[in-house]
């Protein structure tokens, strides 16, 4: 194999592939990127067998067709230090040579036929949902998804489709985020998509995509990318049961002013107390330390008596930062019960701090 390719293009491709490599053991082929050049198209692959990405590009000068592999991290480190100009990759005697002007680097390769296989679209069902709205929904719920929960299903987002529409749900047991899409598909299903996949999907895809699935994998494809990840096998909690049905207090709050007030207190303490009164909200630090922070927001609320709420500020801010409107709704019942934040079809249920 011998090709000439723009340094900036190759660097961009390799950066996208880094999250898909298995970097724990450089002696394993899964730490390598797969490179295939033929018929004017160059293809790059990376996978740790749980998640994988394929990138195609026609912006390459293929002098000799061929296929190889190279350590993905080392290759990127080399490319980064080269100048923003054309460079060449050439394989000879199982050695990949990267060269540009008088600079030359050599990396060992593995037998490309041993590279892990990727799932195929053949015989997989296609997901009937607005892909752009789905990606936006992933972004809204992703902060609430847990990362290292022993209940594996909580380390992913639930995608649930039924006659009422499509719900995307994430929870870490202390809060639950839900985005509802009205589009109704013909199929009824539940898929649990790992958090890592949710994050990578947001990075890679900004345009319309095709989504396929089976019991094992989710596949996303557009003109330049082919992405797959293994689904989480488990039973997701009954999220509808967690969402408060009663509304003792309900009022609108201004997004901008709430962000400013909460951030002012978090300079001292992440846990905060909010005291809702008829004419203002008092924000103060909730801590046993001597340090103290306090601020107020003047606002008219439909309350007869004050209502005090202790909460993790990060959970509150994670919701507000995803709000599209100037105002959002808060629904309260009792100090010790979960409360609901809502912006249209986007909801977050938060468990208050007791004590």
Predicted TM-score (pTM) of the model is 0.92
Cα 65 to Cα 41, 58, 68, 80, 106: the distances in Å are: 10, 13, 10, 25, 19
Dihedral angle over CA of 84, 39, 43, 229, nearest 10:
150
Kindly provide the residue ranges of all beta strands, DSSP E only, lying in 9-120, ordered along the sequence.
32-38, 41-47, 51-57, 61-64, 66-71, 86-92, 95-100, 103-108
| Residue written as token pair 């340090």 | 291
H or E, element range at 308:
strand 307-312
Say how far apart CA 173 and CA 226 lie, in whole Å: 33
What are the structure tokens assigned to 30, written together? 């899964």
Do the domains at 2-114 and 244-350 have one common CATH topology? Answer: yes
**Helix axis angle, 195-204 relative to 131-141, nearest 10°?**
130
CATH, domain 126-241, list 3.40.50.740, 3.40.190.10, 3.10.150.10, 1.10.599.10: 3.10.150.10
Q: Would you state the pLDDT for residue 188?
A: 84
Class of domain 2-114: alpha beta
Say how far apart CA 131 and CA 182 lie, in whole Å: 13
CB-based contacts of 333-337 (< 8 A; 24+ apart in sequence): 333/244, 333/246, 333/247, 333/248, 333/249, 334/248, 335/307, 335/308, 335/309, 335/310, 337/244
What are the structure tokens assigned to 188, written together? 């009824």
Taking each continuous run of H as one helix and of E as one strand, the counts in the chain are: 7, 25
Q: Which DSSP string do the residues of 268-304 spell out, in sequence order?
A: T-SEEEEEE-SSEEEEEE--SSS---EEEEE---S-S
Say how far apart CA 181 and CA 195 lie, in whole Å: 20
Below-70 pLDDT ranges, the chain: 184-186, 290
Q: Would you state the pLDDT for residue 287?
A: 78
For residue 18, the SS3 value is helix
Say how far apart CA 189 and CA 123 lie, in whole Å: 17
Say how far apart CA 179 and CA 347 lie, in whole Å: 6
In the chain, what are the domain boundaries? Answer: 2-114, 126-241, 244-350
Strands laid side by side in the 189-194 sheet: 189-194, 156-162, 165-171, 175-181, 346-350, 339-343, 327-332, 249-254
Phi then psi for residue 91, to 5 deg, are -110, 130
Say how far apart CA 318 and CA 96 lie, in whole Å: 45
Q: Would you state the pLDDT for residue 291?
A: 76
Q: Would you state the pLDDT for residue 131?
A: 86
Between strands 2-6 and 61-64, the pairing is: antiparallel
For domain 244-350, give the fold.
DNA Polymerase III; Chain A, domain 2 (3.10.150)
Dihedral angle over CA of 220, 221, 224, 229, nearest 10:
30
Q: Would you state the pLDDT for residue 33?
A: 99
> Which of 337, 328, 349, 127 is closest to 240 using CA atoms?
349
What are the structure tokens assigned to 352, written together? 């208050």
**Using one digit for the tens of pLDDT, what is the confidence trace for 162-215?**
888 899 999 999 999 999 998 766 678 999 999 999 999 999 998 889 999 999
């Amino acid at each position: 194999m011998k090709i000439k390719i723009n340094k900036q293009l190759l660097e961009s491709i390799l950066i996208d592939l880094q999250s898909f490599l298995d970097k724990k053991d450089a002696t394993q082929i899964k730490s390598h990127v797969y490179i295939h050049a033929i018929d004017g198209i160059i293809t790059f692959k990376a996978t740790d067998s749980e998640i994988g990405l394929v990138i195609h590009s026609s912006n390459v000068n293929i002098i000799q067709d061929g296929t190889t592999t190279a350590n993905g991290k080392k290759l990127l480190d080399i490319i980064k230090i080269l100048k923003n100009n054309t460079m060449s990759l050439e394989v000879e005697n199982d050695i990949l040579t990267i060269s540009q002007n008088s600079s030359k680097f050599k990396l060992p390769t593995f037998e490309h036929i041993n590279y892990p296989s990727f799932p195929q679209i053949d015989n997989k069902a296609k997901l009937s949902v607005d892909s752009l709205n789905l990606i936006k929904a992933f972004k809204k719920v992703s902060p609430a998804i847990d990362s290292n929960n022993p209940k594996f299903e909580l380390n992913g987002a639930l995608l649930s489709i039924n006659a009422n529409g499509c719900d995307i749900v994430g929870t870490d047991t202390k809060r639950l985020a839900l985005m509802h899409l009205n589009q109704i598909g013909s199929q009824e299903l539940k898929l649990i998509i790992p958090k890592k996949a949710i994050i990578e999907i947001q990075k890679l895809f900004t345009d319309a995509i095709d989504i396929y699935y089976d019991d094992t994998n989710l596949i996303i494809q557009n003109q330049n990318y082919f992405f797959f990840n293994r689904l989480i096998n488990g039973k997701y909690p009954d999220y509808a049961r967690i969402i408060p049905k009663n509304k003792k207090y309900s009022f609108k709050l201004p997004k901008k002013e709430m962000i400013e007030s909460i951030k002012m207190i978090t300079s001292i303490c992440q846990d905060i107390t909010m005291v809702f009164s008829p004419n203002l909200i008092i924000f103060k630090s909730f801590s046993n330390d001597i340090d103290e922070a306090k601020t107020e927001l003047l606002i008219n609320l439909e309350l007869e008596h004050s209502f005090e709420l202790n909460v993790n500020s990060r959970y509150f801010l994670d919701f507000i930062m995803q709000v599209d409107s100037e105002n959002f709704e808060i629904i309260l019942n009792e100090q010790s019960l979960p409360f609901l934040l809502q912006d249209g079809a986007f909801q977050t249920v938060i468990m208050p701090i007791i004590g």
